Amino acid sequence: MRIFILVILLIISFQSLTKADDIEDFEIEGMSVGESLLDYFAKEEIDEIKDTPWKDKTTFYQFYSNKNLSNYEFITAAYLINDNNYKIHEISGRSKMNYKECKNEIVKITSQIESLFNSASKDDKGEYNHRSDKSKESKVRSINYLLSNGSLIHVACYNWSDEMTKKKGWTDKLIIAMASKQYVEWQKNKAYK
pLDDT, averaged per 10 consecutive residues of the chain (193 residues), comes to 32 36 83 96 95 93 94 96 97 96 94 89 94 90 95 96 91 96 95 89
CA distance 79 to 90: 7
Please report the pLDDT score of residue 104 as a whole number.
94
For residue 22, which of 91, 120, 108, 92 has the smallest C-alpha distance?
A: 120
Query: Domain for residue 117, yes or no?
Result: yes
Q: Is residue 167 part of a domain?
A: yes
Whole-number pLDDT of residue 110: 93
Examine residue 82 and state whether it is found in any structural domain, yes or no.
Answer: yes
Q: Is residue 14 part of a domain?
A: no
Residue 164 falls within a domain, yes or no?
yes
What is the model's pLDDT at position 21? Answer: 63
pLDDT at 30: 94
**How high is the pLDDT of residue 19?**
42
Long-range pairs for 53-58: beta carbons < 8 A, 24 or more residues apart: 54/191, 54/192, 55/191, 55/192, 55/193, 56/186, 56/190, 56/191, 56/192, 56/193
What are the strands, taking DSSP E only, across 27-161?
Answer: 60-65, 74-80, 90-96, 121-129, 139-146, 152-159
- Torsion angles phi and psi, residue 11, rounded to 5: -65, -45
Indicate whether 98 belongs to any domain.
yes
User: Is residue 77 situated within a structural domain?
Assistant: yes
> Domain limits at 132?
27-189
**Assigned domain for 101 exists:** yes
What's the total number of domains in the chain? 1
